[in-house]
Structure 1
Amino acid sequence: MYHSTFPTSPHLEAYLRSGRIISEHETAQDMVTRIVAALEHVDARFDPTGAAAFGERLGWALDTERIVFSTPIMTNAGRHIDRPLAACAVPPVDLRGDLSQVKTIVDGYHRAGMGTGFNLDELDELDDPVGVLRYLNDIAVTGADSGTEDRPVGNMAILSLDHPAAEEFIGCKLGADTRGEAWKFNVSLHVTDAQMRTALGSPGRERDLLIAAAEAAHACADPGLMFADRMNEGNPTPEVGEYVSTAPCAEVGLVAGETCQFGYLNLGRFYAGDAFLPVDLDALAATTRILVRALDDAIEASLAHYPSPLSAQVMGTKRKIGVGVCGLADLLLAAGLPYDSVEGRRLAQEVLTLVNYTSKLASVELARTRGGCPAVLGGRSRYADPAFLRRFADLEVDSVPRGDWAALADQIASTGLLRNSSTIAVPPTGRSAPVVRASTGIEPLFRLSGDEPERPRADVLAALKAAGRTDVLGFVAGHGRLPADATLPERLRAVLATATQISSAGHLAMAAAVQACVDEAVSKTVNLPASARSIDVYDTYATAFELGCKGITVYVDGSRSVQPQALATATAR
């Protein structure tokens, strides 16, 4: 049995305990030990002789902070054995039916640790979509206050731009802070490519609604936009079902009942110092394989414990997993590359492309021994056309040769052997990344200090020391930021730029660069300064569409009366 040596501290223990990720009497090392034991137990169903060795590899990856799981896995694995290990779901509910029954089903998913997504399009004006949304939000708020939920689950509601209630939906959260309303929902407009082109091209209802959306997002960070056609084009198994809604931060589309398991690679731990490509690609690939296998085990552990039989059916058919990342900003900092730079975006694409390719390769290898997922077997998916996967071969990266993508695409098309219908996702990692002292998701640094005032970020100080800026070290160590009048070389100032100092164009460029490397959408907030106007939000929407993004969320600093840090990320999609 693996016994963890995870590096812990009183601060981390308090963080995990206050978040109910560990019990009152557990330690961080106990958490890692039980996670490994739980997944190793499932793994043994498929590989009785190799499961123990796999457990050792997984434990080492967790203890060296190369992998961190989503909070449902950290909270439930080996502890709440009657719960699934999924992070999000689209509950199979009829919003036009008995709403008390809807509450029972949604409460079940929330208590199991899953955020939820809903599509309000099935409701016409007489059904009052915004009224139903407020009812769903009341369910979420009441559940969060009840003490029966171990994690603060997020929720998503989407409505089409052409819905008669779109205008009311756009403004549903305006003034919520002033009125003292608690919201546990993100909201997004579902917009087709044709609608977006019409809105940007000529006056009319579409443009009026897009302007209204920009004005609302400028005031309260909602709604976001979701580009419907692009999301559905990325659905690898449309025969199983069209996407109904998304995860709470819109990084994956989900059919009714579908869930997703997430785990994250801490990219900062793979810095290798090479001048051309400063990443240990072999270690990154090997760790990706470990994570794919662990997440497939997490699905298997969950099948008997979903709140609805439909979730078990869909997950047994599709087996979607989400290999994500955190620590991108840490990696760029260690490499001395500005977040907003061609080189920074190129490095992001190099690592994300390798993770994507390796996760698919690992899923193929699992399919040979465990069986392929039914959604892909028999030529039922978009993978049957090699062009679906070969699109990644167009990326100009060195980490994965074009020919390797082509060979993998042909192999899956001809055999149907793929264990997981999707493998890579980019969630925000807001509660997981701090466990391994990493920056969140693919976001830039929000400050230069750590969560503990007396312990500034070690990687920030190391970068300053390596750059010879010993005169700045003391200030950053004490204040977690640079003085406005600090005299720094332009390059170093760019490397140390935090979220509010990076232009909206820089945020968007990184979102688009990562979008090109992954299966579905990307959770990334475009941060705008307090001086931004609603027209700046509108322009950001337009640019996101033109850059090929599948969705966009904008946050104007100070637009919410309560935000968790100097610039909020809670609404990140």
Structure 2
Amino acid sequence: MNEPMADIFRHVWETKYRYARERTITDSWRRIARALAAVEPHDPAGWEARYLGILQDFKFLPGGRIQAGAGTARNVTLFNCFVMGPIDDSIPGIFKALQEGAVTMQQGGGIGLDFSTLRPRGTLAKGAGTVASGPVSFMQIWDAMCGTIMSTGARRGAMMATLRCDHPDIEEFVAAKQQPGQLRRFNLSIQVTDAFMAAVRSDAEWPLVFPAAVFDGDGETILREWPGNARAVPCRVLRRVPARQLWDRILQATYDYSEPGVLFIDRINQLNNLWYRERITATNPCGEIPLPPYGACDLGSLNLTCFVRSPFTPDARIDFDGLTETAQIAVRLLDNVIDASRFPLPEQAENAYRSRRIGLGITGLADALVMLGFTYGSDRSISLAIDVMRCICHAAYRTSIALAKEKASFPYFERDKYLQGPFIRSLPQDIQKAISTDGIRNSHLIAIAPTGTISLLSGNVSSGLEPIFAASYNRKILGENGTAKDFVLTNFALHQWRESSGRAKGLPVGFVTASELSVRTHIAMQAALQPFVDNSISKTINVPSDYPLSELKQIYDLAYDHGLKGCTIFRPNWITGAVLSEGAAGVAAPHCCVLEREAD
């Protein structure tokens, strides 16, 4: 590892993951392997050795909370993120939810929240006669809480706020971050329904509604599914707006300050493996795990650069056997996290034990493609990426089936209903048959996270499925005292190529950066992998500051038409801070990586 890479590796390890008297990263790996093997009923020593084998050399990177907490005496959770329970539309309910969020963040978990249950601004509260201030006003309280709880140290709190596209305060939500410093600890995403997309495309009027039970008197109502309700409820129509006009406001806000993102919420629910018992309205802070109330994300990523054989040569190839074996062991390790972890709230523990959701993903895809001589977004690169994700997905499902035979299926498993899920029906027949016969250990298995910090730990490999940001760039990282430290970094694949070729200048075949890629290329890669991801994918589409608004307006439509579950756009702007910058150009970072919400 070259000196700058060694510097940032040591900084990340020492400030975020090192425990007590650990002297090397291997000591940390041993701690993690021992703690997660300890829950094995048979041969824990053997499983400890296997877990250590995939952790060494950075082949498998557990989520940051696993690395920081497993095998320690710290009162922390091993889950990176949670979606909180419904926020009851009352002062006691709001502050109960705030307290639950504070406890969760104090123990290390990021949180996602759906604010759609809060009545719109200006509504007369039934009975009390007071006037509601609306969900955005209460988001300020969460933002302040997060800033207080996570005000020092090398981590910052991460939160996702969502709101329905038919909530009467949707326009205020869209504009909530137009001023610097406002809600900086939140990512914002709109729950976009199929009905809204149809209304946009037909240029129809769009009703903004809220459950009628909170209102006195009569008024026009329509049936709507609404969070916190088991079935559709009558909702009062408060006003109507042109759907296309609302859509344009969303797109203008995205252009001006890169938020809000969109969640295609009907698609998320249609493709949910637990469609028969869950209604999802929120995600973890970076969007790769849509979760029900009190759901948790248990994450880890396979470092694809470790599976490239004979890199930068005509014989370069992926070791699919090694990838399969590592994925199998990683699934078992992540399943054990559920039993080894503490939980901030009993409701979170119950959901995790009963669904046993995990999220095995990838990192270093773009670097692996360069090592193979492929250009990100080319037909060959997409074909290879599909083969990789298919391999990981099918290996994960077969492992989970074997675990069910050994340890039992997840308690929420209902065989016939589970097998009816669209994602399950897309799996090979032998996997479907095996689930029918033997059950399955985990309700969900695959997610592609942004892997911002754990990728730095492994030598600055490219994050998740994102393209390479730049050949070299500046990166801000928080230190233990809470202040930012600057590092000058070189891309992993480029450094490896220079080391192996002896060249100090030039670029390897296939080397391309995010700013050189078209929007369609970004979407094509995400769309190619989505069929093999039962949770979701965290992906930021970067566009330059001079990107035309008229073209940006097409991105969410492309994402919707390509079957994606969600989409985030980042255009450099004066409001969003930067963690990454490319030389003097000052290229800003994707919004999910700003300093206040840095993923780990």
Tell me the TM-score normalized by structure 2: 0.82
Change (3 A) 1:502 1:251: same
1:69–1:262: 8 Å Cα contact kept in structure 2?
A: yes
Q: CA deviation at 1:387?
A: 5.5
Residue 73 (structure 1) aligns with: 66
Residue 171 of structure 2 aligns with an amino acid whose one-letter code is E
- With 236-245 and 68-77 compared, the bigger mean Cα shift is at 236-245
One-letter amino acid matched to 1:510: M
Following the alignment from structure 1 to structure 2, what is the Cα–Cα distance between the partners of residues 144 and 313? Answer: 26
Give the secondary structure class of the aligned counterpart of 1:432.
helix
Choose the corresponding residue for 1:375, options 412, 415, 421: 412
Q: CA deviation at 1:94?
A: 2.8
Q: Equivalent residue of 2:300, what SS?
A: strand
Give the secondary-structure state (helix, strand or coil) at the position aligned to 2:567.
Answer: strand
Residues 33-432 of structure 1: pairs in structure 2 closer than 5 A: 33-43=30-40, 46-47=41-42, 49=43, 51-92=44-85, 94-97=87-90, 98=92, 99-125=94-120, 126=123, 127=132, 128-145=134-151, 147=152, 151-175=155-179, 177=180, 180-181=181-182, 183-202=184-203, 204=205, 205-273=242-310, 278-302=317-341, 305-379=342-416, 381=417, 383-385=418-420, 388-392=423-427, 405-412=428-435, 414-415=436-437, 417-432=439-454
C-alpha distance in 2 between matches for 1:120 and 1:310:
19
For residues 30-73 of structure 1, give each alpha carbon's deviation from its aligned partner in whole angstroms, at most 9, with x where no partner exists: 22121111111112xx22x2x21221121121112101111100
CA distance in 2 between partners of 1:263 and 1:551 (Å): 21
> Match for residue 395 of structure 1?
none
- Residue in structure 2 matched with residue 551 of structure 1 by the alignment: 566
**Structure 1 position 377, deviation (Å):** 4.2
Deviation, structure 1 residue 192: 1.1
Name which of 462, 465, 476 aligns with 1:442.
Answer: 465
Shift of 1:440: 0.6
Equivalent residue pairs, number: 520
1:337-394 deviation per Cα after TM superposition (whole angstroms, max 9, x unaligned): 1112111111111101111111111000111111111111453x4x3237642324xx
Letter in 2 for 1:350: D
The root-mean-square deviation of aligned C-alpha atoms, in Å, is 2.4
**Residue of structure 2 equivalent to 1:568:** 589
Q: Residues 249 and 571 of structure 1 are in contact (CA less than 8 Å); yes or no, is this contact kept in structure 2?
A: yes
Q: Is the 8 A contact 1:90 1:244 kept in 2?
A: no
User: Which has the larger helix fraction?
Assistant: 1
**2:585 paired residue number:** none
- The whole-number CA distance in structure 2 between the counterparts of 1:93 and 1:325 is 31
Q: Which has the higher strand share?
A: 2
What percent identity do the matched residue pairs reach? 27
Find the counterpart in structure 1 of residue 126 from structure 2. none
Structure 2 counterpart of 1:22, from 10, 18, 24: 18
C-alpha contact 2:316 2:372 (8 A) present in aligned 1: no
Matched position secondary structure for 1:118: strand
Q: Distance in 2 between matches of 1:474 and 1:453?
A: 20
8 A contact 2:397–2:445 mirrored in 1: yes
Report the residue type matching 1:408 in the other structure. I
- Partner deviation per Cα, 1:288-340 (whole Å, 9 max, x = no partner): 011100001100112xx212111111111100000011010111010111112
Aligned to 1:503: 518
Aligned partners of 1:156 and 1:249 also within 8 Å: yes
Q: 2:420 is matched by which residue type in structure 1? A: D
Distance 2:468 2:534 in 1: 25
Pick closer, same or farther for the CA change 1:537–1:103 going to 2, 3 Å: same
The whole-number CA distance in structure 2 between the counterparts of 1:322 and 1:15 is 23
Single out whichever of 89-98 and 234-243 deviates more from structure 2.
89-98
CA deviations 1:144-164 (Å, max 9, x no partner) are 21x3x7632321111111111
CA distance in 2 between partners of 1:136 and 1:63 (Å):
39
Moved more, 534-543 or 330-339: 534-543
Give the 3 Å change call, closer, same or farther, for CA 57–503 of structure 1 in structure 2. same
Any idea what SS the aligned residue of 1:55 has? helix
AA of the residue aligned to 1:459 = A
Distance 1:111 1:150 in 2: 14
CA deviation after TM superposition for structure 1 residue 532, in Å: 1.2
2:404, 2:300 → 1: CA distance? 20
Distance 1:64 1:15 in 2: 16
Q: Which letter does structure 2 place at the counterpart of 1:351?
A: V
Tell me if structure 2 keeps the 8 A contact 1:40–1:55: yes
State the SS of the aligned residue for 2:302: strand
Shift of 1:85: 0.9
Q: Report which stretch shifted further, 117-126 or 346-355.
A: 117-126
- Tell me whether 1:459 sits opposite 2:493 in the alignment: yes
Cα offset, 1:134, TM superposition: 1.8
Amino acid of the residue matched to residue 437 of structure 2?
Answer: T
Match of 1:537 in 2: 552
**Does the aligned pair in 1 maintain the 2:273–2:424 contact within 8 Å?**
no
For 1:250 and 1:570, how far apart are their aligned partners in 2?
A: 12
TM-score by length of 1: 0.85
Change (3 A) 1:550 1:474: same
Structure 1 match to 2:480:
none
Q: Is the 8 A contact 1:87 1:114 kept in 2?
A: yes
Q: C-alpha displacement at 1:9, in angstroms?
A: 4.2
- What letter is aligned with 1:568? A
The 1:387–1:195 alpha-carbon spacing in structure 2 relative to 1, beyond 3 Å, is: closer
Does the 8 Å contact 2:316/2:371 carry over to 1?
Answer: no
- Please state how far the C-alpha of 1:113 moved relative to its aligned partner: 1.2
- The code of the aligned residue for 2:360 comes to V
**In 1, Cα distance between the equivalents of 2:258 and 2:492?**
32
Which residue is 1:485 aligned to? none
Query: Matches of 1:301 and 1:241 in 2, distance apart?
Result: 25
Q: CA-to-partner distance for each residue in 1:407-430, whole Å, 9 max, x for gaps?
A: 111221x23610000000011111
Q: Is the 8 A contact 1:93 1:105 kept in 2?
A: no
Query: Any conservation in 2 of the 1:218–1:533 contact (CA below 8 Å)?
Result: no
Give the direction of change, closer, same or farther, for the CA distance of 1:195–1:454 in structure 2 (3 Å limit).
Answer: closer
Alignment deviations for residues 167-189 of structure 1 (CA, whole Å, 9 cap, x no partner): 111110012x2xx4451111111
CA distance, structure 2, for counterparts of residue 250 and residue 11 of structure 1: 26
Supply the AA of the counterpart residue of 1:156: M
Q: Report if aligned partners of 1:221, 1:571 keep a CA contact under 8 Å in 2.
A: no
